[in-house]
Amino acid sequence: MPTQFNNLLSRRIFLGGSIAALSLMGAGVHAADDTSMVYIGGYNNLVTCFEFNSMNGDMKQVSQSDCGKNPTYLAIHPTRKFLYAANEVNPGIVSAYSIHPKDGSLTKLNEASAGGGGPCHIVVHPDGKWVFTGNYGSGHIGIAPINADGSLGAPLEPILGGKNAHQIVIDVSGKFVFVPFLGSNHVNQYAFDEATGKLTPVEPAFAAASVDQAGPRHMVFHPSGKFAYVINERNCTIDSFDYDKAKGALSNPKTIPTMPADAYASMKGKSTAHIIVSPDGKFVYGSNRGHDSIAIYSVDSATGHLTFVGHENGGGEIKTPRDFSLDPTGKFMIVANQAKDYILVFKRDEAKGTFEKIASHIVPSGSAFVGFMAKP
């Protein structure tokens, strides 16, 4: 099933992605000893945790936890004490875990309904009191309260906002929530009541993709808060939007392709997946499945518009890159290859925005998520 993660919120806990970005948790924040934790989830029963050295990109596996069937997307609580998994099954499940502070291993607390079928994305609100789930199969937005001990409370009545809810994105204020609906070809825009968990459509209620049937999949905010970017799965493009922080509304989309012109001659087997912004806001990255690459763009700081820089394919080793993430420093990138049993580590040129592959690591096949977490 098609499905990331990286938004400014995501940087607070999961870096990358969205965001999330752990709501990578705390932009630019990392442990004093220059190590972070990296979590890998996907289409199996395992969540693998690595220790990551942000000085040289070295990684070592420190734990592996059984998190039930298909924990394809993960989210971290702002305290970094708890982790939540979207189990991509039908009916969908959200599982809550405590995080061991030494090796990142996970102990299950409880589980709750995801509010629909086939959940493909999950995120924790910045206040740490709510978890949101995007259900691709049914189109529902699931919302559940988080108890003081990290466990999940009784879910609220799910919201049906369109076809194929693919991601939940919260702006830096925590007041507005955005949901790309791939099948409906728009991004729903909501105001969020932190006291009640209620979502209310803002005006306009949604922002349409610039091209009919483009298929909005994932979204990310620029660190300035002035712009947002949506990657479209079906036609392999990115829309850049202006963002009104006061109203919580997206407008004025501008489109750019994610693949070279000749790749569009046949779209069979090609789709996009995830999108992130570098911590300094100078570059945007999007993943291409089928073309098997990471598209690289520079950002115009005045307009937010994108200029194509190049593609990274890891010497042909990137295969079906469903998710990828930058480390908290922005110096390294990890790509999860859904079609292989390894992840790839790249060093990033912070001036040019380009990458150099430096390592690979074996993980369970079907990896669909990669996120960094600053050590507790």
**Given a cut of 90, is residue 197 above it in pLDDT?**
yes
User: Does a structural domain hold residue 249?
Assistant: yes
Closest CA to 220 of 2, 3, 9, 23: 9
pLDDT value of position 147: 98
pLDDT value of position 16: 39
Tell me the torsion sign for CA atoms 155, 156, 160, 164: negative
Structural domain boundaries enclosing 214: 12-374
pLDDT value of position 34: 84
pLDDT value of position 33: 60
Summarised one tens digit per residue, pLDDT across range 119-149 is: 999 999 999 999 999 999 999 999 999 999 9
User: Does a structural domain hold residue 1?
Assistant: no
Summarised one tens digit per residue, pLDDT across range 312-363 is: 999 999 999 999 999 999 999 999 999 999 999 999 999 999 999 999 999 9
pLDDT value of position 59: 97
pLDDT value of position 288: 98
pLDDT value of position 14: 54
**Given a cut of 70, is residue 25 above it in pLDDT?**
no
List the CATH number of the domain containing 159.
2.130.10.10
User: Does a structural domain hold residue 2?
Assistant: no
Summarised one tens digit per residue, pLDDT across range 280-321 is: 999 999 999 999 999 999 999 999 999 999 999 999 999 999
Model confidence band, residue 185 (pLDDT cutoffs 50, 70, 90): very high
pLDDT value of position 72: 98
Summarised one tens digit per residue, pLDDT across range 245-284 is: 999 999 999 999 999 999 999 999 999 999 999 999 999 9
User: Does a structural domain hold residue 28?
Assistant: yes
Mean residue pLDDT across the chain: 92
What pTM was estimated for this model as a whole?
0.93
Answer for the pair 344, 331: CB distance below 8 angstroms, yes or no.
Answer: no
User: Does a structural domain hold residue 89?
Assistant: yes
User: Does a structural domain hold residue 7?
Assistant: no
Closest CA to 213 of 163, 254, 258: 163
pLDDT value of position 24: 38
Model confidence band, residue 154 (pLDDT cutoffs 50, 70, 90): very high
User: Does a structural domain hold residue 6?
Assistant: no
pLDDT value of position 376: 74
pLDDT value of position 318: 98
CA distance 252 to 258: 19
Summarised one tens digit per residue, pLDDT across range 38-62 is: 999 999 999 999 999 999 999 999 9
Summarised one tens digit per residue, pLDDT across range 214-233 is: 999 999 999 999 999 999 99
Q: How many domains does the chain have?
A: 1
